[in-house]
Structure 1
Amino acid sequence: MIAEQFVKKYLPEALKVEKETGFHHLITLTQGALESGWGEKALENNFFGIKWSEGDKQAKQLITTTEYLSTPNAKFPMVISKTKQPNGKYKYIVKDNFRSYPTAAEGFADHIQFFLKNPRYAKAVEVKNDPDKFFDEIAKAGYATAPDYAEKLKQVMHSVIIRIPK
């Protein structure tokens, strides 16, 4: 799926989430685009890279992913490779469990619930109507291990904005 198709197809879901929760539609649309590669890697409707945890109601799926961590002894269902980086962190290529959803709508709705249910994202929730600030706060709170996560989101957001019909 190309960027224009992604925006056209999922903008209604993002607007629905905004109407129901107050989270700016660019948050869900942008993060969904980045995390899923414009929908190409939204395996089982997980557009947001939300990992599965014990007690989750959603089904789980095992997916290959990259993580950047400070510890050389991180635990995953399967470690494919681990490389020490110049900054002292470790780059892991792993298989890990991620949430699975029957529909895209359920994936989009759960994305916001994930933030609301996790206290570490409280500062992000306070700025849910400002995508730039929201992206900064979720990056600080550790949503992703990529060191430039907030900046990547902001770059993708500009690609999303120019594709939204006027």
Structure 2
Amino acid sequence: VQRLGHSAERVARDSGIPAGFMLGQAGHETGWGQSEIKHADGSNTFNLFGLKAGQGWAGKVAEVRTTEYVDGRPRKVLAKFRAYDSYEESLRDYARLINGSPRYAKARAQTGSVVAYATELQKAGYATDPGYARKLSGAIHSALRAQRTQT
């Protein structure tokens, strides 16, 4: 939260997505910085949100083993993830995804509530983990508490 706070605040001003929501989700997705996605050579991808590199992605990628839930069961799969040159670039790409995709419209409309936002992200298929909304809500609440102690 301390390391990414200023970048998240800048992106929040531009996107309307609360900085604490982005920080909490980044914390959850990276194990609070302990499990960041790396390139094969060990260098950082700066991917804070576990965003995959789908067909429309023209940027850099990293191929990594990850856990996906298929029919409620965890499976290890090889997936391509987006790679960035900075954390702020990752935050901005996340905001573009959430704000630009009709799939996440209900989540965008719920930025006044941590639980509702996380629930709508899960319903929209942001992650395959059946417990994602509960886990994400907890992470966002942790980030918001950390933000309050810094001000």
For the aligned pair, the TM-score class normalised by the smaller chain equals 0.7 to 0.9
Alignment of structure 1 residues 17-166 onto 2, 5 Å: 17-43=11-37, 44-70=45-71, 89-164=72-147, 165-166=150-151
More moved, 137-146 vs 37-46: 37-46
Report how far residue 121 of structure 1 moved. Answer: 0.9
- The answer as to whether partners of 1:24 and 1:131 remain within 8 angstroms in 2 is no
Structure 1 stretches lacking a partner, 5+ long: 1-6, 71-88
Percent pairwise identity? 32
Q: Which has a greater percent of strand?
A: 1
The equivalent of 2:42 in structure 1 is none
3-state SS of 1:151 partner: helix
Query: Which segments of 5 or more consecutive residues in structure 2 lack a partner in the other structure?
Result: 38-44
Cα distance, 1:130 vs structure 2: 3.1
Q: CA deviation at 1:158?
A: 2.6
Shift of residue 115, structure 1, vs aligned partner: 1.3
Cα root mean square deviation, aligned:
1.4
Deviations 1:1-26 (A, max 9, x none): xxxxxx11011111111111111112
Q: Is the 8 A contact 1:124 1:133 kept in 2?
A: yes
Alignment-mate amino acid for residue 127 of structure 1: Q
Secondary structure in 2 aligned to 1:8? coil
Q: Which amino acid aligns with 1:31?
A: Q
Deviation at 1:117, TM superposition (A): 2.6
Following TM superposition, by how much is the alpha carbon of 1:104 offset from its aligned partner in structure 2, in angstroms? 0.7
How many residues align structurally?
142
Give the CA deviation at 1:60: 1.0
CA distance in 2, matches of 1:162, 1:146: 25
- Partner Cα distance (1:58, 1:133) in 2: 31
Q: Quick check: 153-162 or 30-39, which moved more?
A: 153-162
Deviates more, 1:125-134 or 1:54-63: 125-134
Deviations 1:73-120 (A, max 9, x none): xxxxxxxxxxxxxxxx33211110010001111001000111123221
TM-score, structure 1 normalization: 0.80
